[in-house]
A and B are shown apart, each in its own frame.
Chain A
Amino acid sequence: MADLRYEAPETLGAAIALLADAKGPAKVLAGGTDVIVQMETDLIEPELLVDIKKIPELRQIKAEKGGFRVGAAVSGMDLVDHAAFAKAWPGVIDGVKLIGSIQVKGRASMGGNLCNASPAADSVPPLVAAGAVATVIGPKGTREVPVEQIPTGPGKTSLAKGEIVVSFFFPRRPPRSGDAYQRFTPRTEMDIAVVGVGIDLTLDKGGTCTAARVALGAVAPTVLLVKEAADALIGTTVDDAVLEKLAKACSAACKPIDDKRGTREFRIKIACVLAKRVAQQALERARQN
């Protein structure tokens, strides 16, 4: 194995150049809670590590166009402690809070969670439900990519060589909007989602749902944005009959595997149960806003 080289550039340009010019395998280091474990266990053997945490754009949470821009390497604890963001996007916070322990959240970031591309990543369904857009910068310039288009399969992303997810943009919240994320795990902490569901919805003054996004985690090779499930909610007051339709749409979209954490049938069943619960929680939050 070739020697490992560590670089901690202070600008995006320098980071992109390092990654684009790398001859051997290169890896971006954000919080390191996946990358360092993968290195320790010889799953990956990078020759270059580019630590992006000294680049200001990756570590800031800023107000932008009435919404928020969150640096991809902002730690989970920094995001959880950001009162204004947490108030606007409680469902995203639900997901981030479930990423490992306090110690892990002291380092782990949403950008890392997304680019590690686990279908069970807890922050990804709420990011997808929120309609967050990733700003990706690489040797060929900048592109804005809906979050759901970044992972392409377990451990795989659509990022080209030299590209980095810099930040996430969360659009301005219309009044009466609410989001939520829940997952099923055998224990309440320190576990990997068997199924996760994130839902964001907006109500009109009369309580009718005018917009919704439904995202399912750990039931397919990537987190799924399920349009049919959102369509079941839109135009309704999200009553019990609607929740059944939502569950049916989620059930139809699931393509899970059987593994030690759950069978295919179990995952589909749980996705339906969680979808109903999460929709009700998002609804409650929307009514309070």
Chain B
Amino acid sequence: MAKKYHVTTTVNGDEYEVLCEPQQTLLDVLRDELQLTGTKEGCATGDCGACSVMLDGELVCACLVLGVEADGKKVETIEGMGNEKELHPLQRNFLELNGLQCGICTPGILVAAKALLERNPDPTEMEVRYWLAGNLCRCTGYDKIIRSVLATAKEIRGGA
């Protein structure tokens, strides 16, 4: 039995204490220990972006972070983005503009797109495409994702 590490981390504003093994990734900890299964596992090697989360304000792949590294840090996941009563504008636009099909890549794309819009509220199509290059989608062909993000940017800027 490997030694377990006591980790205190804030996820979507709530403090959690968890015992985790050192090789467990933040993705494992979120899904298996905290039952926050909105963050998806795609490749587990940092190539697909399905597990995108914010770690102390930085967009990262949760599969490339160890759970122990989250000690004392703030994590934001898709669960913190909106709820059934009030969707985040990105979530609403993805629904309205068909920015998703099977949905596995969607939480990661929403988290990544939110990070982009907070950094750059008026991105060009090219900037959106490059920012989301690390988020793979095998259904949509990307075009509707890009349109959903651009529509949200416009809406947030008040230019709807």
- A residues at B contact (CB < 8 Å): 3-6, 8, 29, 31-33, 36-37, 39-41, 49, 51, 53, 75, 77, 100-104, 106-107, 189-190
Q: Once the chains bind, are B45 and A5 in contact (CB under 8 Å)?
A: no
Q: Once the chains bind, are B66 and A32 in contact (CB under 8 Å)?
A: yes
- Name B64's contact: one of A49, A77, A102, A107 (CB within 8 Å): A107
- Name A41's contact: one of B5, B45, B66 (CB within 8 Å): B45
Q: Once the chains bind, are A190 and B66 in contact (CB under 8 Å)?
A: no
B6-47 interface (Cβ within 8 A of A): 21-23, 25, 44-47
Q: Once the chains bind, are A100 and B2 in contact (CB under 8 Å)?
A: no
B133 nearest in chain A by CB position? A189
Q: How far is the CA of A104 from the CA of B58 in the complex (A)?
A: 10
Q: Judge whether B78 is part of the interface by a CB distance below 8 angstroms.
A: no
Given contacts A101-B133, A101-B134, contact A37 B3 (CB under 8 A): no
Q: Once the chains bind, are B65 and A32 in contact (CB under 8 Å)?
A: yes
Q: How far is the CA of A102 from the CA of B111 in the complex (A)?
A: 12
Q: Once the chains bind, are A104 and B65 in contact (CB under 8 Å)?
A: no
Q: Once the chains bind, are A33 and B134 in contact (CB under 8 Å)?
A: no
Q: Once the chains bind, are B23 and A100 in contact (CB under 8 Å)?
A: no
Residues of chain A lying within 8 A (CB to CB) of residue B60: 103, 106-107
Q: How far is the CA of A6 from the CA of B71 in the complex (A)?
A: 12
Q: Report whether over half of chain B's contact residues are helix, strand or loop; otherwise say mixed.
A: mixed
Residues of chain A lying within 8 A (CB to CB) of residue B112: 102-103
Given contacts A5-B3, A6-B22, A190-B133, contact A103 B49 (CB under 8 A): yes
Given contacts A37-B45, A190-B47, A190-B133, contact A104 B61 (CB under 8 A): yes
B57 nearest in chain A by CB position? A106
Q: Once the chains bind, are A6 and B133 in contact (CB under 8 Å)?
A: no
Shortest A208–chain B CB gap in Å is 37
Q: Once the chains bind, are A6 and B5 in contact (CB under 8 Å)?
A: yes
Q: Once the chains bind, are B22 and A37 in contact (CB under 8 Å)?
A: no
Residues of chain B lying within 8 A (CB to CB) of residue A29: 66
Shortest B72–chain A CB gap in Å is 10
Q: What are some 9 contacts across the A-B interface (CB < 8 A)?
A: A3-B2, A4-B22, A41-B45, A53-B69, A103-B64, A106-B58, A107-B58, A107-B64, A107-B65
Q: Once the chains bind, are B130 and A189 in contact (CB under 8 Å)?
A: yes
Residues of chain B lying within 8 A (CB to CB) of residue A31: 64
Shortest B138–chain A CB gap in Å is 14
Q: How far is the CA of A4 from the CA of B4 in the complex (A)?
A: 10
Q: Once the chains bind, are B134 and A40 in contact (CB under 8 Å)?
A: no
A45 nearest in chain B by CB position? B23
Q: Once the chains bind, are A103 and B22 in contact (CB under 8 Å)?
A: no
Residues of chain A lying within 8 A (CB to CB) of residue B135: 101
Q: Judge whether B91 is part of the interface by a CB distance below 8 angstroms.
A: no
Q: Judge whether B68 is part of the interface by a CB distance below 8 angstroms.
A: yes
Q: Once the chains bind, are B22 and A101 in contact (CB under 8 Å)?
A: no
Q: Once the chains bind, are B131 and A102 in contact (CB under 8 Å)?
A: yes
10 A-B pairs besides A4-B23, A103-B59, A104-B134 with CB distance below 8 A are: A3-B2, A32-B66, A32-B69, A36-B65, A36-B66, A49-B22, A101-B49, A103-B60, A106-B58, A106-B60
- Name A51's contact: one of B59, B61, B69 (CB within 8 Å): B69
Which of B25, B46, B58 has most chain A Cβ within 10 Å? B46
Residues of chain B lying within 8 A (CB to CB) of residue A4: 2, 21-23
Q: How far is the CA of A2 from the CA of B56 in the complex (A)?
A: 32
Q: How far is the CA of A25 from the CA of B65 in the complex (A)?
A: 20
Shortest A195–chain B CB gap in Å is 21
Q: How far is the CA of A235 from the CA of B142 in the complex (A)?
A: 49
Residues of chain B lying within 8 A (CB to CB) of residue A36: 25, 46, 63-66
Which of A29, A36, A102 has most chain B Cβ within 10 Å? A102
